[in-house]
Amino acid sequence: MLELVKLEEPAEHVKKLTLNRPKAANALSKQLLAEINEALGEVEKNKNTRCLIITGSGGKAFCAGADLKERAGMTEQEVVETVTLIGDTIHRVEQIEVPTIAVLNGVAFGGGLELALACDLRLSSNAAKMGLTETSLGIIPGAGGTQRLSRLIGLGKAKEMIFTAKPITCETARSIGLIEYAYDQTIVQEEALALAERIANNAPIALRQAKKAIHQGYQTDIETGLQIEKKCYQTTIPTKDRLEGLQAFKEKRKPIYRGE
């Protein structure tokens, strides 16, 4: 029974995972992490899902990162184990086959921003602030932040954010490419759902293969990347969805994709 996470289906083929610890700024406690993994397992098993939204409850925080109150009572070994659990959970988010959208309804610090970085797209409230603040606490980003942030916004800006530990505004985040969209708090969830539905209207096998080609290709040289793209493209050729797309185009109607 999920208590700290809400998993809903706000639209056909769209799942929404909400971190539900608003009084604790949706901080990543061990129990919350366990429930995130349980919810992710449900998403992975459901082949009807074509897009996943991840957000936080309340209007103040997407996720403030690790639960520092919980961590204060841990031994060094327990800290290592918990950091590993956070990293593994965020990596699992990144590895989900369907497109993912992080909706930053409020602040995203430390592990919270690292969670958003593992998603494919990021939408933010205009009032949200975000940052990798770990060096101000005597540690470094340990759940992929040093790697994913630099790949997303470039070395210089990533180093600036991590070295200074200074939060940035939504406006700055958008200007450096950290987020794709920014909306007023009153409509950010609505806009995220509209984007998710737009994605989910497309062929599910094609969506998964496109994400695979982008992710795997980005980590290698262009020639290898082109071969990865070719292999992913070939996976779509024998599908019924490809034929449906062609037929719908010919008949000037909306295609009905079934993931076959």
The pLDDT of residue 74 is 85
CA dihedral over 145, 86, 180, 125, signed as positive or negative? negative
Joined tokens for residue 141: 């980003």
What average pLDDT score do residues 12-31 get?
94
User: Residue 173 pLDDT more than 80?
Assistant: yes
Mean pLDDT of 119-131: 96
Asked which of 161, 185, 200 is the last residue of a domain, the reply is 200
Calculate the dihedral angle through the C-alpha atoms of 235, 239, 244, 249, rounding to the nearest 10 degrees.
20
Q: pLDDT-based confidence at 171, cuts 50/70/90?
A: very high
Query: Residue 227 is part of a domain; what is its CATH number?
Result: 1.10.12
Q: Which of 39, 87, 114, 128 is catalytic?
A: 114
Whole domain around residue 170: which residue ranges?
5-200
pTM of the model as a whole: 0.93
Q: Given 116, 134, 143, 173, which residue is catalytic?
A: 134
Q: Establish if 259 belongs to a structural domain.
A: no
Lowest mean pLDDT among 76-80, 131-135, 214-218: 76-80
Q: Are residues 216 and 97 part of one domain?
A: no
pLDDT at 125: 95
Question: In the structure, what pLDDT confidence band is assigned to residue 11 with cuts at 50, 70 and 90?
Answer: very high
Catalytic residue among 39, 64, 66, 182: 66
Q: Say if 258 falls within a structural domain.
A: no
Is residue 174 located within the same domain as residue 209? no
Angle (CA) 103 191 107, round 5°:
25
On whether residue 256 sits in a domain, the answer given is no
Report which of residues 66 and 220 the model is more confident about: 220
- Out of 56, 65, 111, 142, the active site residue is 111
Residues 36 and 161 in one domain: yes
Q: pLDDT tens digits for 70-122?
A: 888 888 898 899 999 999 999 999 999 999 999 999 999 999 999 999 999 99
Is 246 found in the same domain as 160?
Answer: no
> At residue 2, does pLDDT exceed 80?
no
Q: What is the pLDDT of residue 147?
A: 95
d(C-alpha 56, C-alpha 188), whole Å: 12
233-255 residue pLDDT tens: 999 999 999 998 999 999 998 99
Mean pLDDT score across all residues of the chain: 94
CB 56 within 8 A of CB 95: no
**Taking 90 as the threshold, does the pLDDT of residue 259 lie above it?**
no
Any idea what the CATH number is for the domain that residue 54 is in? 3.90.226.10
- pLDDT at 72 (0 to 100): 83
Pair 180, 161 in one domain: yes
260, part of any domain = no
Both tokens assigned to 83:
């950091």
Q: How confident is the model at residue 59 (pLDDT cuts 50, 70, 90)?
A: confident
Residue 1 has what pLDDT? 61
Q: pLDDT category, 42, cuts 50, 70, 90?
A: very high
Burial of 13 (0-12, 13-18, 19+ CB in 10 A): buried
Please check whether residues 141 and 183 belong to one and the same domain.
yes
Verify whether residue 114 is a known catalytic residue: yes
Whether residue 37 sits in one domain with residue 153: yes
Alpha helix (H) residue ranges in the chain: 30-45, 68-71, 76-95, 111-117, 145-153, 155-164, 170-175, 188-200, 204-218, 222-236, 240-251
- Are 19 and 68 found together in one domain? yes
**Annotation says 127 is catalytic:** no
Do 192 and 212 lie in one domain? The reply is no
Looking at the structure, do residues 188 and 235 belong to the same domain, yes or no? no
Residues 19 and 66 grouped into a single domain: yes
Q: Are 35 and 66 in contact (CB under 8 A)?
A: no
